[in-house]
Structure 1
Amino acid sequence: MDIALPDPVRDEAPLLTPDMLQQLDTSGPRYTSYPTADRFVEAFGPDDYRQALRARAEGAGIGGRPPLSVYVHIPFCESVCYYCACNKVVTRHHERALDYLAALEHEMALHHQVLGAKEVVSQLHLGGGTPTFLSDDELTRLMAGLRQHFALMPGAELSIEVDPRTATPERLAHLAALGFNRLSFGVQDIDPAVQKAVHRVQPFEQIQALTASARALGFQSINVDLIYGLPKQTAESFVHTIREISGLRPDRIALYAYAHLPQRFKPQRRIVSADLPAGTERVQMLGSAIAGFLSHGYSYIGMDHFALANDSLAIAKRQGRLHRNFQGYTTQPDNDLVALGVSAIGRVGATYSQNAKTLDAYYDALRQGEFPTVRGLALSRDDLLRRAVIMALMCQGRVEFESIELAHLIDFEDYFRSELRQLAPMVGMGLVTLEPQAIQLTARGWYFVRAVAMVFDRYLQADENRGRFSRIL
């Protein structure tokens, strides 16, 4: 049967046939970076990262350096969620956070030393793991350390991921007092059977109460994370989740497809494969979720993000000012991203870097006075060119040949002759239009932007092993 996905711009519902869906439902990157993190190499180490920071410090210019974004990874969780693919440490020993905070403070000091000044920060995000694993006092200590080594500018976006099971209205009030103005609640699904199957039980009433508290406290933006394709989910049960969550009116909603990769992520081995919804039902969930969000007044931002029309993300989408970094879509310009903590991934200049993935290795590097960088990448000229094309598709849905040609000194049609030929089937499916000097995503094509971007991924085109990535539907 044909599947109807609603048009994110108009009220029409373009039909996608099963053959089209089969062609498009492949595995592929999420493109929070290009090249993607699986291309990082261990030859890039602490010295390379230090040099990237020095280059930033020396390149201030008359107008000064642009602000930084900062990401802090808090790996601890009290219990494991079976679907989780994040780097985490499951423990009930909260005292372990003290050593970690000391290490983070050491890592901040190393950055301050190399950069030579308190860098201005326009965006801070605490992720995990479970940042709210930290006590109120520990969060206070962390924020004090950040303010000691960085200058959080007035009006900066300060966001934190919140596990509703570890939060109370009093905790939210403390976060507000620390300066956080954005919250992201990890909900995933409100159906009790699904919650039990993934080992994450949190009554809807708890989420409802926390959302109301966050509103009363004046948080600028509330995000809710949802996942489709989880065990015990059905198309009918997920419609109920979409309706109830939309009724809470979070400013933003992130809808992710569950990627079942038990060979890579040990907790997923506790999920019974027979409980997972079939591919056709997953597509039905996606279609009904998109329709449900749009009918409740949400704008489709791209890939897995939705926002109310008056949210800054939706405004940026309409004005062509969207950007994308390791946290997903953002309104922030293309800033350098300093990433702190175990396994954290950052970007400085034309480099990417990742910290050690285990606490022991992370602590050991810092004890030796070194950055805990264990791998990364210095981008080539071709990497930078393709990143510009892929990010234009992911964020603006349009690539202007002339702007790429002027910035990178190439002839677009000659350089990407093969890629333009590969777009022909997508033109036939109504996903893109090829103009004389531009590539334009159609309204339908926005739903499959990952598939379009993959055409320009030189590494992926040469690699037949895509199973390590999540499916794009």
Structure 2
Amino acid sequence: MEQSLTAKYNVAAPRYTSYPTMPYWDTDVFSNDEWVKTVKRSFIESNTRDGISIYIHLPFCENLCTYCGCNTRITKNHRVEEPYIKALLLEWAMYKNIFGKKPLIREIHLGGGTPTFFSPANLKALISAILLNADIHPDANFSFEAHPANTTVDHLQVLYDLGFRRLSLGLQDFDPKVQFIINRHQTIEQIQAVTGQARRIGYTSINYDLIYGLPLQTLPGLAETMQQVAGLMPDRIAFYSYAHVPWIKPGQRRFTEKDLPDAKLKAKLYEVGRSLLKHYGYIEIGMDHFALPGDELLLAEQNGNLHRNFMGYTHQHTQLLIGLGVSSISDSQYAFAQNVKTVEEYLGLVKNGELPVFKGHILTNDDMIIRRHIQDIMCTGQTTWNHHTEPCEPLLEGIERLQPLADDGLIELNSWGLKVTPTGKNFLRNICMAIDARLWANKPATQLFSMAI
């Protein structure tokens, strides 16, 4: 039964880090002025209560990892660091001017690219300036992504001294054949060294990113990777499906579909990896995430406080997320905005004193309602609705589309809501698709998203 469901529901599907998803943003009615208004509103409503989150995109990498779907700039020229940091701080100054009051910073996340491409001294200068004339929330949560092959003790110490306590290392797979074809090289000894150094310094949470469905990946190779990872016992593991989107990321054309596991093998890779993680003591959280007992992310799910945004799952929620840097995405709760995607355009706009936003979406009332239900499904595995207090015609249409999923045992569906079954937990993206009004109103003629499984 499980295999037949996998075949049936292995369709192109969004990952639902937002709703509406980016291809369905109504940019025709979006303007920077409208975006600024929503930022001001959200800051006034939530800064004192929740604080704000900041995502900083650091796009530079010395080498191209051919599996990667992120916005990157490949260079070995480290002179790019200081001009980019200067631009980030100019953009941050624009947002502080919009706020009008001192921000309360609750979350900072450094993503990339490769944040540890930047020197420890430059990272210190960047974060110190971000924190200047800002308050830090007592429950602040600062995290960064790192490449195991270039993360030094100085990187770890400098960021720890600035308040960072969470580290995420991109492993993907230890199989040498897989590492070669995806051009991502790191050894178990490098992972062990960085993990040990971070723990000795005092980092309280270490995450490893693993990917299934990579080219040339095999079941024995994945099992060996899992065994090596389990020996180091990171606090969290993100076990992602490889997203093959060569029409968006040309670097993925280094290999072809013939090098990728077929749908049946990919599903088996997921099931084997998932079962091994559970065997090693990890507990599944939401979609793609696993943690050891006692982890804050796991506690948040158990307490109903788990949240999902463009940075993935988080154990706390801020209404306002500001994205700084090229291609970064911001969320004011009432609107989304994305920055321009090339470094040159970003630097030019910021230098001229312009917010580097090039597209976005102002959420309608229907969007807000459906967004809440998708957030609940992704984070708690259930949602409830009341058609009298929350009228939404597109949601009613979506509820009708849920019935086949209930017939297949993925959800328990009734007149007031739904609950995801243990089987359905593997198909969260498909469940959310059923109530995705924007997608159903404008079905794509070509593939926009990666496959669900």
TM range (shorter): over 0.9
CA shift, 1:335, in A, is 2.2
Give the 3 Å change call, closer, same or farther, for CA 282–405 of structure 1 in structure 2. farther
Aligned to 1:447: 426
CA shift, 1:436, in A, is 4.1
Letter in 2 for 1:222: I
1:27 aligns with 2:4: no
Structure 2 residue aligned with 1:50, among 28, 36, 46? Answer: 36
Please give the per-residue CA displacement for 1:169-222, whole angstroms capped at 9, x wherever unaligned: 343222212221000001111111110111111111111221122222221110
Letter in 2 for 1:450: R
Structure 2 residue aligned with 1:340, among 300, 324, 331? Answer: 324
User: Is the 8 Å Cα contact of residues 27 and 466 (structure 1) preserved in structure 2?
Assistant: no
Give the 3 Å change call, closer, same or farther, for CA 169–64 of structure 1 in structure 2. closer
Q: Residues 65-464 of structure 1 correspond to what in structure 2 (within 5 A)?
A: 65-402=49-386, 406=389, 409-410=390-391, 416-462=395-441, 463-464=443-444
Further displaced range: 69-78 or 359-368: 359-368
CA shift, 1:416, in A, is 3.7
Aligned to 2:445: 465
Residues in 1 aligned to 2:43 and 2:313: alpha-carbon distance in whole angstroms: 27
Unaligned runs of 5+ in 2: none
Residues in 1 aligned to 2:445 and 2:420: alpha-carbon distance in whole angstroms: 27
Residues in 1 aligned to 2:345 and 2:148: alpha-carbon distance in whole angstroms: 31
Q: Is the partner of 1:165 in helix, strand or coil? A: coil
User: Is the 8 Å Cα contact of residues 26 and 360 (structure 2) preserved in structure 1?
Assistant: yes
Give the 3 Å change call, closer, same or farther, for CA 98–298 of structure 1 in structure 2. same
Give the 3 Å change call, closer, same or farther, for CA 290–328 of structure 1 in structure 2. same
Q: Is the partner of 2:149 in helix, strand or coil? A: helix
Give the 3 Å change call, closer, same or farther, for CA 58–254 of structure 1 in structure 2. closer
User: Is the 8 Å Cα contact of residues 56 and 115 (structure 1) preserved in structure 2?
Assistant: no
In the superposition, the TM-score normalised over structure 2's length comes to 0.95
Q: Is the partner of 1:145 in helix, strand or coil? A: helix
Residues in 2 aligned to 1:405 and 1:179: alpha-carbon distance in whole angstroms: 46
**Alignment RMSD, CA only?**
1.8
Letter in 1 for 2:448: R
Residues in 1 aligned to 2:420 and 2:177: alpha-carbon distance in whole angstroms: 38
Aligned to 1:12: none
Q: Is the partner of 2:156 in helix, strand or coil? A: helix
Number of residue-to-residue matches in the alignment:
451
Please give the per-residue CA displacement for 1:272-330, whole angstroms capped at 9, x wherever unaligned: 43221111110100000110111111111021111112101111111111111101111
User: Is the 8 Å Cα contact of residues 76 and 128 (structure 1) preserved in structure 2?
Assistant: yes
User: Is the 8 Å Cα contact of residues 401 and 435 (structure 2) preserved in structure 1?
Assistant: no
CA shift, 1:113, in A, is 1.1
Residues in 2 aligned to 1:382 and 1:229: alpha-carbon distance in whole angstroms: 36
User: Is the 8 Å Cα contact of residues 395 and 437 (structure 2) preserved in structure 1?
Assistant: no
Letter in 1 for 2:84: Y
CA shift, 1:405, in A, is 5.3
Give the 3 Å change call, closer, same or farther, for CA 442–141 of structure 1 in structure 2. same
Identical residues among aligned pairs (%): 37
Letter in 1 for 2:349: A
Residues in 1 aligned to 2:445 and 2:130: alpha-carbon distance in whole angstroms: 40
In the superposition, the TM-score normalised over structure 1's length comes to 0.91
Residues in 2 aligned to 1:145 and 1:271: alpha-carbon distance in whole angstroms: 42
Residues in 2 aligned to 1:394 and 1:446: alpha-carbon distance in whole angstroms: 9
Residues in 2 aligned to 1:371 and 1:464: alpha-carbon distance in whole angstroms: 31
Residues in 1 aligned to 2:250 and 2:168: alpha-carbon distance in whole angstroms: 25
Unaligned runs of 5+ in 1: 1-14
User: Is the 8 Å Cα contact of residues 109 and 149 (structure 1) preserved in structure 2?
Assistant: no
User: Is the 8 Å Cα contact of residues 302 and 447 (structure 1) preserved in structure 2?
Assistant: no
Q: Is the partner of 2:294 in helix, strand or coil? A: coil
Aligned to 1:7: none
Q: Is the partner of 2:164 in helix, strand or coil? A: coil
Further displaced range: 64-73 or 45-54: 45-54
CA shift, 1:420, in A, is 2.6
Please give the per-residue CA displacement for 1:36-68, whole angstroms capped at 9, x wherever unaligned: 1222354424322222223235547xx945310
Q: Is the partner of 2:107 in helix, strand or coil? A: strand
Further displaced range: 71-80 or 428-437: 428-437
User: Is the 8 Å Cα contact of residues 45 and 373 (structure 1) preserved in structure 2?
Assistant: no
Give the 3 Å change call, closer, same or farther, for CA 259–56 of structure 1 in structure 2. closer
Q: Is the partner of 1:108 in helix, strand or coil? A: helix
User: Is the 8 Å Cα contact of residues 370 and 395 (structure 2) preserved in structure 1?
Assistant: no
Give the 3 Å change call, closer, same or farther, for CA 79–429 of structure 1 in structure 2. same
Residues in 1 aligned to 2:395 and 2:26: alpha-carbon distance in whole angstroms: 26
Further displaced range: 380-389 or 255-264: 255-264
Residues in 2 aligned to 1:149 and 1:348: alpha-carbon distance in whole angstroms: 21
User: Is the 8 Å Cα contact of residues 323 and 333 (structure 1) preserved in structure 2?
Assistant: yes
Give the 3 Å change call, closer, same or farther, for CA 90–324 of structure 1 in structure 2. same
CA shift, 1:349, in A, is 3.5
User: Is the 8 Å Cα contact of residues 399 and 435 (structure 2) preserved in structure 1?
Assistant: no
User: Is the 8 Å Cα contact of residues 46 and 372 (structure 1) preserved in structure 2?
Assistant: no
Residues in 1 aligned to 2:333 and 2:419: alpha-carbon distance in whole angstroms: 28
Further displaced range: 330-339 or 22-31: 330-339
Letter in 2 for 1:95: R
Give the 3 Å change call, closer, same or farther, for CA 134–283 of structure 1 in structure 2. same
Q: Is the partner of 1:329 in helix, strand or coil? A: strand
CA shift, 1:472, in A, is 1.1
Letter in 2 for 1:471: M
User: Is the 8 Å Cα contact of residues 50 and 318 (structure 2) preserved in structure 1?
Assistant: no
CA shift, 1:470, in A, is 1.1
